[in-house]
């Protein structure tokens, strides 16, 4: 009788071990798909058009919505082989208004002032030249023209990585203990 029980337990144990192993492999696959390892990034790998996927903001009190762009923003980032770049980001739900038949002087369009201010506040863009430092994983933008004229001539340096085919910009700001991490996540736009 003792031999029958032992013989019955062997297949159950084998199935149990098989299920545990299968679950462990499936779990490892899920972890690797969610936390993609950084890939080697090169200058040539940056060339082309990238679409904004999302902007993540996190700080000492957890995740927050980006105060400027808001959740659900859209944008394009372009790197050209000649060393020129362009970026624009638009907040969602921007109020539309009729484009005037002619451009009026700033003093003559009082009725449009509030709508223009709202359109300006929900949009950001600049262009210029760019460099990539593979040794430090830094992308350098030399702003030539910006929606914000004060940025003309400014240089921005950002940490960048390629993870799961997505371009990730990471910036930290603030003092220790109150530091904020902003990540802009872009994916390549395929040719039509």
Model-level pTM? 0.72
CATH topology of domain 39-188: Lipocalin (2.40.128)
Which segments within 6-154 are labelled E, that is strand?
Answer: 38-39, 48-59, 62-64, 74-79, 84-90, 123-133, 138-146
Q: Which residue has the higher pLDDT, 3 or 55?
A: 55
| 19-62: pLDDT as tens digits | 444 444 444 444 344 455 668 899 999 999 999 999 998 888 78
- 1 pLDDT higher than 70: no
Q: Comparing C-alpha atoms, which of 186, 190, 169, 191 is closest to residue 50? A: 186
Q: Which residue do the tokens 């080697």 mark? A: 40
- Residue 25 has a pLDDT of 44
- Residue 20 has a pLDDT of 45
- Residue 66 has a pLDDT of 76
| 108-167: pLDDT as tens digits | 666 677 778 888 888 999 999 999 999 999 999 999 999 999 999 999 999 999 999 999
Q: Which residue has the higher pLDDT, 9 or 126?
A: 126
| 163-173: pLDDT as tens digits | 999 999 998 88
Q: Which residue has the higher pLDDT, 104 or 45?
A: 45
Query: pLDDT grade, residue 95 (50/70/90)?
Result: confident
| 10-19: pLDDT as tens digits | 554 444 444 4
- 101 pLDDT higher than 80: no
Q: What 3-state DSSP class applies to 17?
A: helix
Q: What angle do CA 96, 50, 85 make, to 5 degrees?
A: 90
Q: Picking from 4-13, 83-92, 123-132, which range would have the lowest pLDDT averaged per residue?
A: 4-13
Given a contact cutoff of 8 angstroms between Cβ atoms, the answer to whether 169 and 158 are in contact is yes
Residue 68 to residue 62: CA distance in whole angstroms: 17
Residue 173 to residue 156: CA distance in whole angstroms: 14
Mean pLDDT of the chain: 80
Given a contact cutoff of 8 angstroms between Cβ atoms, the answer to whether 51 and 187 are in contact is yes
Domain ranges of the chain: 1-35, 39-188
Residue 53 to residue 169: CA distance in whole angstroms: 12
| 111-121: pLDDT as tens digits | 677 778 888 88
């Amino acid at each position: 009788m003792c031999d029958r029980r032992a013989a019955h337990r062997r297949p159950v144990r084998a199935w149990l071990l098989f299920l545990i192993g299968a679950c462990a492999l499936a779990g490892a696959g899920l972890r690797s798909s969610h936390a993609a390892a950084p890939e080697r990034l090169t200058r040539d790998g940056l060339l082309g058009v990238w679409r904004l996927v999302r902007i993540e903001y996190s700080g000492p009190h957890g995740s927050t919505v980006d105060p400027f762009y808001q959740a659900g923003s859209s944008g394009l980032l372009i790197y050209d082989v000649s060393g020129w770049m362009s970026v624009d980001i638009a907040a969602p739900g921007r109020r539309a208004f009729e484009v005037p038949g002619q451009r009026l002087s700033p003093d003559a369009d009082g009725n449009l002032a509030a709508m223009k201010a709202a359109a300006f506040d929900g949009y950001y863009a600049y262009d210029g030249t760019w460099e990539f430092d593979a040794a430090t994983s830094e992308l350098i933008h030399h702003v030539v023209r910006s929606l914000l004229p004060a940025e003309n001539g400014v240089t921005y340096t950002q940490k960048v990585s390629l993870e799961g085919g997505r371009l990730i910009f990471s910036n930290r700001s603030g003092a220790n203990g109150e530091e904020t991490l902003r990540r802009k996540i872009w994916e390549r736009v395929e040719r039509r």
